[in-house]
Structure 1
Amino acid sequence: MHLKAAHLFFLENGIPFVSYRLPWTANIVTLSGGIFSAEGAEDDDNTFVFAPFGSGHGHVKLYYNAENVAFGTEIDIDSLTFTEAGLTGNEVPAPIVVTKDVYLNQVATLISAMKKGQAKKVVLSRVVAAKLALDDQPKVFELLCSKHPGAFVYFLSDGKQMRWMGASPETLLLKKEQHYITMSLAGTKKSVDGQPENIQWNPKELEEQAFVTDYIHDVLRNLNMEDYTISGPETVFAGHLAHLKTTFHMPAEKCDAAQLIEKLHPTPAVCGLPQKEAFDLIFATELHNRAYYTGYLGILKPQEELKLFVNLRCMQLIGNEAYIYVGGGLTEASDPEAEWDETEAKAETLLSVFPNKNATLQHDAR
């Protein structure tokens, strides 16, 4: 059975699954069966983690210990075991979609707060709603894989009502041979030709990225990890968007992965700075619940394989609708109209692969 048909089989029969494709690889891995649970078993062979932006706001870190693992785009459904099937759950409420005027007022409010010294940087997000039929969702996952070779692309469902998909350009923490790798990724510009030399970064964007880089430096030093190296900042591309990236390499033997994840998340790239002040401003300003947007997800096997990514360029799927979460970092120098345009460009990363090019919905926005 082709993967697209397998996805529909899982969805129609209430079977949990995760399909993912790692950056710069061709092979799609599909985990199925089992159950998503808040009680972790991080040392199991097939553990996948799905963590929210913040705890205490209705969402918890989930661990997925699958019964089956398949590779590639052809799956032998008859050979798989499903202890849990036909799962049902409470209907998921749609996130609030705000108008442009509301968003611009939110930006202005946060800029004013930063000018008063309440924070240095705050990441404000919003939601874009669009039509995406259930039957088309597996095809969109396939298109994201082909269009974004350098992203962590995923499609997951808990077999009940939770369903998410995304193509994240940002690594939270990756174990590669004898090193751990993390990155600061911030600053966004549209790219016409994909050539780094044609991207000119302004002072606001450079400052925004430097905040994230400095934060990671501080985290590593506070954990007494002085023996690390960095490269960048450099211009990298995620679809039609350019970003600034600095990469950190840390010796694995000197790194407590669990402690590092706890200290890194959420970084100023998705929250702001100082962390607590920015976090409080976000929850006081945004009308939607971020849920798992700007959380993290990936493979969690600390002793051998750890590949965690920030949940960006993602959407929550409810019925035949997609709710795309987009955001941008604000500083005192931010221009509200430019920030709106940045979120529009980020939404287009996902909308560009939708079968209906006029899919965007106008909900009862506040």
Structure 2
Amino acid sequence: MGFLAHQFPNEEIQYFEGSWIASTLDQIPESCFFITDFTKDKVYYFKEHNTLENLSNIDFSFSHDDEIFVANEKAYLNGLQYFIDGFEMFGIEKAIFSRIKLVDREADVELNDVFVRLCKAYQKQALVYFVSDEQFGSWMGATPETLLSGNEQKMQSMALAGTKSSAEKEWTEKEFEEQQYVVDYIQQKIEEQSPGDLSVTKAQTVQKGAVYHLQSDFEFSLDKEKWNALLQSLHPTPAVCGTPGDLARDYILRNEPHERSFYTGIIGQKKSDALSVYVNLRCMQVMKKHFALYVGGGITLSSNIANELQETEDKSETLLSVIFD
């Protein structure tokens, strides 16, 4: 039996027991909660059987540690330098390089407590979720990045990129450049669908979990018949893939030493008259004896590999601060 718990921003936690059904993004039901991997080759939607009160007596499915590849810091830095060295040869302007950070899952750490703390910490700014099934194990996260949300009259998206660890630090040219890649890409994809009344805000500094980002918001109207096409074309954005998009995607798949699985995929809810869909960031795979945190950063030719490693550490605090509260 599969399991789903979620809390959308400013809403209550909901718990469900049911079945996770493999499908494709084009064929999932009109109304459902769904999750995909980075490539969108693996897509699952949830078929609810029962509503639950909490996580008590849930038989979670856990992956084993040997099912994922975890590089130590030295291997990550070497791999990142190799990654950057190939940019000019393969025509890459920007690409995201990620790593898995493994932390011990102590025997006395209750998953219900971790999930509830995550919901309380990020109630206003993230989709917080917990999913489990024998097909993919157990995943938990708090993702702040809206991919597409709203209805026909008012649809929203966001460009979220650039990272710094404190409000006092100044943004660098690298981060402004990184965020502008995302703004231009999302605006182009929206305009291809002939939206109504498209507006785009200037980049603002926002705090998301333990770090700060640059965020621009998009607002527009769009016929329901175009929602799926826009979802498909928007993802993956340069914020989780790179630019040029197809080249960056293939480059990532060839050079990252691990499978991203649900990290940087799509997660959210479709309804007959509304969408609430996110890019799956700040997430972790819950293993038998560990939490496997997936973290990454946008890489350009000007990236400093030591700074990029520190950025992944900073991002991991969104989850670590809750796990070890």
Question: Going by fraction, where is strand more abundant, 1 or 2?
Answer: 2
Compared with structure 1, are the counterparts of its residues 187 and 41 closer, same or farther at alpha carbon in structure 2 (3 Å cutoff)? Answer: closer
SS of the aligned residue for 1:247 comes to: strand
The answer to whether structure 1 residue 212 and structure 2 residue 182 are counterparts is: yes
Letter in 2 for 1:331: T
* Alignment counterpart, residue 61 of structure 1, candidates 28, 38, 43: 43
Look up the match of 2:285.
316
Q: Does 1:112 pair with 2:85?
A: yes
- Preserved CA contact (<8 Å) 1:98 1:126: yes
1:328: which partner in 2? 297
| Structure whose CA Rg is larger | 1
User: How far is the alpha carbon of 1:215 from its aligned partner?
Assistant: 0.5
2:144 to 160, 169, 174: 169
CA contact (8 A) 1:143 1:353 kept: yes
Shift of 1:136: 1.8
Q: TM-score, normalised by structure 2?
A: 0.90
The TM-score with structure 1 as length reference comes to: 0.80
Q: State whether structure 2 residue 17 is matched by structure 1 residue 32.
A: yes
CA contact (8 A) 2:162 2:213 kept: yes
Post-superposition offset of 1:227? 3.4
Aligned residue in 1 for 2:222: 252
- C-alpha RMSD of the superposition: 2.6
Tell me how far apart the structure 1 counterparts of residues 305 and 92 of structure 2 sit (CA, whole Å). 17
Q: Identity, % of aligned pairs? A: 35
1:236 aligned counterpart, secondary structure: strand
Distance 1:351 1:88 in 2: 21
Is the CA contact 1:133–1:319 (under 8 Å) kept in the aligned structure 2? no
CA-CA distance at 1:158 after TM superposition? 1.7
Alpha-carbon distance in 1 for matches of 2:228, 2:66: 32
2:190 & 2:170 partners in 1: Cα distance? 30
- AA aligned to 1:114 is F
Q: Any idea what SS the aligned residue of 2:258 has?
A: coil
Give deviations 1:332-356, integer Å, cap 9, x for gaps.
111111000000111122111223x
1:152-185 Cα shifts (integer Å, max 9, x gaps):
1111112565110001110111015721111110
2:203 is paired with a residue of what secondary structure? strand
Distance 1:254 1:298, change over 3 A: closer
Cα distance, 1:38 vs structure 2: 2.4
Name the amino acid aligned to 1:163: S
Deviation for aligned residue 1:29: 1.6
Paired residues of 2:155 and 2:221 also in contact (CA < 8 A): yes
> Amino acid of the residue matched to residue 147 of structure 1?
A
Look up the match of 1:42: 29
Q: C-alpha separation between the residues in 1 aligned to 2:323 and 2:60?
A: 28
Compared with structure 1, are the counterparts of its residues 335 and 35 closer, same or farther at alpha carbon in structure 2 (3 Å cutoff)? closer
* 1:215-264 per-position Cα deviation (integer Å, ceiling 9, x unaligned): 11111222333631111311111122100011111203377110000000
User: What's the CA shift for 1:89?
Assistant: 9.5
1:76, CA displacement in angstroms? 11
Contact 2:94/2:243, CA 8 A, preserved across alignment:
yes
Q: In terms of mean alpha carbon deviation, does 106-115 or 117-126 score higher?
A: 106-115
CA drift at 1:98: 0.8
Give the 3-state SS of the residue equivalent to 2:202 in structure 1: strand
Equivalenced residues, count? 321
Deviates more, 1:90-99 or 1:141-150: 90-99
The answer (yes or no) to whether the contact 1:31–1:68 under 8 Å persists in 2 is: yes
| Residue of structure 2 aligned with 1:273, choices 231, 237, 243 | 243
Match of 1:153 in 2: 128
Q: Residue in 1 aligned with 2:5?
A: 19
